[in-house]
Amino acid sequence: MTRVPLRPALADLPPYVPGARVPVGAAAFKLSSNENPYPPLPSVVLAISEAAEDVNRYPDMYATELTAAIASSLAVPAESVVTGCGSVAVLGHVLTAVCRPDDEVVMPWRSFEAYPIAITLAGAQGVPVPVGDDGRLDLEAMAAAVTERTRVVLVCTPNNPTGPAVHADELATFLAAVPRDVLVVLDEAYVEFVRDSEAPDGLAVFADHPNVVLLRTFSKAFGLAGLRVGYAVARPRLAAGIRAASTPFGVSHVGQLAALASLRATAELMTRVDAIVAERARLLACLRTQGWAVPDSQANFVWLALGDHSTAFAERSGRAGVLVRPFAGDGVRVSVGEPEATDLLLEVTADWLSR
């Protein structure tokens, strides 16, 4: 039988594994997907409700009002902002816009698991560079991995799933070593949670380096994970190319109005971020008191380097009522959630160490 052939690259494409969901009828805390534990603000719910009345219409293809609002909030030109269906989709558009067949994309690993998928689908070759034992990106090694075939370097800061943010001085040294015709993508999906005084100002880095693109999202700090709204900030010429490679009507009308309402309520939403950061500090402190060696997370999650025991720990945690995200052979990522979830998780971690 003759069959339609698939691209050979798909045979080795790693699947994206979503965080475990709470089974229907069960009771558990879901700390497996780095979601904001707070529900949308009433003003955002109202915007979603009103937008629902127009879902028979196509959305504004260029998200004009949202793009202008994002640009205003960041003090960049509107033509530098490109919206999309979450920052992961925008990353795909970035790679599609700049990568040619067999170009190389240098990436940290372990890092965001969508990276190798997006790179492969863009027709490029991923070049993984190991993350340090402390969970930090090895920017020196990443710079050394750049060759004449390198088209893009991905810098995830804070790094998902390990948590640390890169520091301004090491990023400056890295950018000085990378050729100016190589695109550097600063993936700042968790930037609002960063409290490290040595972390760089992504917008200032963008202003100083024409080959830098920022990726940001409304999924985490703004709590709109279910509506899929992300964006890139790039020089106008690059932004135009990314926009040309984007999926038409990629951000729904509901998503656009919800993101606009969230931007208007930024101050209120950032108080929630502060609460999550405080809970993160409590979780890290308690884990270290128990005896865990935990990286200095600057995101809304923490990393337990459990190696080959990762799956077993996740199963035990799930039975206790806390769903976490195992990365087989490497570790377990635990999102920061409600204080009650932290308390229950700490019971699990204490029991695990006492075995």
pLDDT tens track for 229-275 = 999 999 999 999 999 999 999 999 999 999 999 999 999 999 999 99
Q: What is the pLDDT of residues 124-160, one digit of tens each?
A: 999 999 999 999 999 999 999 999 999 999 999 999 9
Rounded CA-CA distance 113/161 in Å is 9
164 within 8 A of 200, measured Cβ to Cβ: no
Give CATH 3.90.1150.10 domain extents, the chain: 16-40+267-353
pTM of the predicted model, to two decimals? 0.95
The residue type found at 224 is: L
Give CATH 3.40.640.10 domain extents, the chain: 42-264
Q: What is the pLDDT of residues 267-319, one digit of tens each?
A: 999 999 999 999 999 999 999 999 999 999 999 999 999 999 999 999 999 99
Q: How confident is the model at residue 198 (pLDDT cuts 50, 70, 90)?
A: very high
pLDDT at residue 10, as a whole number: 84
8 within 8 A of 248, measured Cβ to Cβ: no
Q: How confident is the model at residue 87 (pLDDT cuts 50, 70, 90)?
A: very high
- Here the tokens at position 268 are 């209120």
Rounded CA-CA distance 351/13 in Å is 37
pLDDT at residue 355, as a whole number: 79
Indicate if the pLDDT at residue 26 is higher than 60.
no
Rounded CA-CA distance 259/273 in Å is 16
Q: What is the pLDDT of residues 88-97, one digit of tens each?
A: 999 999 999 9
- Residue 220's φ and ψ, nearest 5 degrees, are -95, -85
Q: What is the pLDDT of residues 47-85, one digit of tens each?
A: 999 999 999 999 999 999 999 999 999 999 999 999 999
pLDDT at residue 52, as a whole number: 95
Selected from 3.30.450.20, 3.30.2020.30, 3.90.1150.10, 3.40.720.10, the CATH number assigned to the domain covering 16-40+267-353 reads 3.90.1150.10
Q: What is the pLDDT of residues 160-185, one digit of tens each?
A: 999 999 999 999 999 999 999 999 99
Average of per-residue pLDDT values in the chain: 95
Is the domain spanning 42-264 CATH 3.40.640.10? The answer is yes
